[in-house]
Amino acid sequence: MYNTAIRGPLIKGDKTIHQITEEICQPIDRRPGYWWYFVFLLCLGALIYGGWAVYITVHEGIGTWGLNNSVTWGWCIINFVWWIGIGHAGTAFSIFLLVLEQKWRTSINRAAELMTVVAVICAVHFPILHIGRLWDGFFILPYPNTRGPLWLNFNSPLFWDVLAICTYFMASSLFWYVGMIPDLATIRDRTTSKIKRAIYGFLCFGWIGSSRDWFRYEKLSWIIGGLTAALVVSVHSIVAMDFATSVLPGWHTTIFPPYFVVGAILSGFAMVLTLMIIIRKVYKLNDYITDSHLNAICKILVFISLIMGTAYSTELFMAWYSNNEYEMFTFFHNRVTGEYNTAFWIMLISNAILPQLFWFKKIRKKLAIVFIISLCINIGMWFERYVIVITSLTKDYFPSNWADYRPTTVEVGLFTGTFGFFVLCILLFFKYLPMISLYEVKGVSKYKSN
Partner 1 sequence: MIDNLTAKDLLVFKIQLFIILFLVLTTFGFNVQTVFAQNTAADHFDEFCADCHSIGEGDMKGPDLLGVEQKYSEDWLVKFIHSSKTLINSGDPKAVATFEKYKKQNMPDTDLSVSEIRALIAYIKSFNKNTAKKPSITNDSLDVSNIKEIKSVIQATVEEALEARQYNERLGSIEKKLDVLLQYNRKSLSARITDEEIEKGRKLFEGIIPFTGNVPACVTCHNTFKIDTLNWNPSAFDIATAFSQRNDADITSLIINPVSNKMKAVLNGHRLADYEAFYITAYLQSIERTGLIEYKKLPVKLLVFIGLCLVMMFSLIDLMFTKIIKLKLVNIFIFIVTGILISNTIYINAANIGLSQNYAPDQPIKFSHEIHVKENKIECLFCHNGPEFSRESGIPSTNVCMICHNKIRTGERTGQFEINKIVKTFENKIPIEWIKVHNLPDHVFFSHAQHVSVGKIECRTCHGDIDEMHITRQVSTLSMGWCVNCHRESKVQFEENKFYSEHQELHDDLKSGKIRMVTADKIGANDCQTCHY
Partner 2 sequence: MKKYWRSIEEKDDQPGSNDDEKMDESKKEFFEEMSNDLSSGTSVTRRDFLKVWGYSITAATLVASCESRVNKAIPFLIKPEEVISGIANYYASSYVDGNEYCSILVKTREGRPIKIEGNVKSGVTKGGTNARVQASILSLYDESERIKGPLHNNNKTTWENIDENVTPLLQSINAKNGKIVILSSTIISPSTKNVYKDFIKTYPNTRIIYYDAISASGILMANKNSFDQMVIPAYRFERADIIVSFGADFLGTWLSPIEFTRLYVQNRKLDGKKNMSRHIQFETGLSLTGSNADERFPIKPSEEEIMLVNLYNELLQISGNSTDIVSSSPNNIKRLANDLWSIRGKSLVLSGSNDVNIQILVNAINVLLENYGKTIDLSTPLYIKQGIDREMEDLVRDMEENKIDALIINNVNPAYDYPESDKFVNGLANLILSISFSGTIDETTSLVNYVCPDNHYLESWNDVEPRKGFFSLVQPTINPLFDTRASQESLLKWAGKDIGFFDYIQQHWENNIYPLQDEFTSKESGFKFFWIKSLQNGVFEINSPAAAEIHHKFNASVVQPAINELVSQKTDNADKIELQLVENIGVGNGKHANNPWLQELPDPISKVCWDNYVSVSPRHAAELGVENGDVVIVSSTLEQIELPVLLQPGQAYKTISIPLGYGRKNAGKVGNNIGKNAFRFCKIKDGNIQYKNDIKLIKTNKKHLLALTQTYNSMLGRPIVRETTLDQYIRNPSSGNEMHEKQQKGSVSLYKSPVHIGNHWGLSIDLNACTGCSACSIACQAENNIPVIGKEEVRKRRIMHWMRIDRYYSDSVDNPQVYHIPIMCQHCANAPCENVCPVAATMHSHDGLNHQSYNRCIGTRYCMSNCPYKVRRFNWYAYTEAEKMDSYLNSDYGRMVLNPDVIVRSRGVAEKCSLCIQRIQESETKAKLENRLLNEDEIQPACMQSCPANAILFGNLKNENSNIAKKFKDERNYHLLEEIHVLPSVGYLLKVRNQPYGRT
- Interface residues with partner 2 (CB under 8 A)? 60-63, 66-70, 72-73, 127, 130-134, 136-137, 139-140, 150-153, 155-159, 162, 242, 245-248, 325-326, 329, 393, 396-404
Residue 247 interacts, among partner 1, partner 2, none and using kind-specific CB cut-offs from 5 to 8 Å, with partner 2
Distance of CA 340 to the CA centre of its chain: 26
CA 8, CA 446: separation in Å to the nearest integer? Answer: 12
Q: Which amino acid is at 160?
A: W
Q: Which amino acid is at 139?
A: F
Residue 29 interacts, among partner 1, partner 2, none and using kind-specific CB cut-offs from 5 to 8 Å, with none
Residue 132 interacts, among partner 1, partner 2, none and using kind-specific CB cut-offs from 5 to 8 Å, with partner 2
- Residue 249: is the preceding peptide bond cis (ω within 30°)? no
Beta strand 3-4 pairing with 8-9: antiparallel
Closest approach of Cβ 157 to partner 2, in Å? 7
| Smaller CB separation from partner 2, 124 or 393 | 393
DSSP annotation of 63: G
Residue 153 interacts, among partner 1, partner 2, none and using kind-specific CB cut-offs from 5 to 8 Å, with partner 2
Residue 356 interacts, among partner 1, partner 2, none and using kind-specific CB cut-offs from 5 to 8 Å, with none
| Smaller CB separation from partner 2, 145 or 286 | 145
Closest approach of Cβ 151 to partner 1, in Å? 12
Q: Could you tell me which residues come within 8 angstroms of residue 45 by beta carbon, excluding any fewer than 6 positions away? A: 420
| Smaller CB separation from partner 1, 148 or 399 | 148
Length of the chain: 450
Closest approach of Cβ 161 to partner 2, in Å? 8
Closest approach of Cβ 166 to partner 2, in Å? 13
Closest approach of Cβ 133 to partner 1, in Å? 13
End-to-end CA distance of the chain: 6
**Which of 73, 96, 79, 103 is CA-nearest to residue 262?**
96
| Smaller CB separation from partner 2, 141 or 372 | 141
Helix (H) / strand (E) element for 9: namely strand 8-9
**Which of 33, 22, 19, 121 is CA-nearest to residue 427?**
33
Q: Which residues bind partner 1 (CB under 8 A)?
A: 144-150
Cβ pair 335, 387 in contact under 8 A: yes
Closest approach of Cβ 70 to partner 2, in Å? 5
Residue 146 interacts, among partner 1, partner 2, none and using kind-specific CB cut-offs from 5 to 8 Å, with partner 1
Listed in sequence order, the DSSP H helices in 144-290 are: 157-190, 194-203, 211-244, 256-283
Residue 423's SS3 state is: helix
Residue 401 interacts, among partner 1, partner 2, none and using kind-specific CB cut-offs from 5 to 8 Å, with partner 2
| Smaller CB separation from partner 2, 245 or 292 | 245
Cβ pair 28, 183 in contact under 8 A: no
Cβ pair 164, 238 in contact under 8 A: yes
Residue 369 interacts, among partner 2, partner 1, none and using kind-specific CB cut-offs from 5 to 8 Å, with none
| Smaller CB separation from partner 2, 53 or 352 | 53
Cα four-point dihedral sign 396, 400, 402, 407: negative
Closest approach of Cβ 287 to partner 2, in Å? 49
| Smaller CB separation from partner 1, 145 or 337 | 145
Closest approach of Cβ 141 to partner 1, in Å? 13
Residue 396 interacts, among partner 2, partner 1, none and using kind-specific CB cut-offs from 5 to 8 Å, with partner 2
| Smaller CB separation from partner 2, 221 or 401 | 401
Residue 130 interacts, among partner 1, partner 2, none and using kind-specific CB cut-offs from 5 to 8 Å, with partner 2
Closest approach of Cβ 40 to partner 2, in Å? 35
| Smaller CB separation from partner 2, 101 or 136 | 136
| Smaller CB separation from partner 1, 31 or 147 | 147
| Smaller CB separation from partner 2, 37 or 139 | 139
Residue 145 interacts, among partner 1, partner 2, none and using kind-specific CB cut-offs from 5 to 8 Å, with partner 1
Closest approach of Cβ 116 to partner 2, in Å? 25
Cβ pair 441, 107 in contact under 8 A: yes
Q: What is the DSSP string of 347-404?
A: HHIIIIIGGGGGGSHHHHH-HHHHHHHHHHHHHHHHHHHHIIIIIHHHS-S-GGG---
Cβ pair 181, 437 in contact under 8 A: no
Q: Could you tell me which residues come within 8 angstroms of residue 408 by beta carbon, excluding any fewer than 6 positions away? A: 64, 65, 66
Residue 287's Cβ-count burial label (10 Å; 0-12, 13-18, 19+) is middle
Closest approach of Cβ 66 to partner 2, in Å? 8
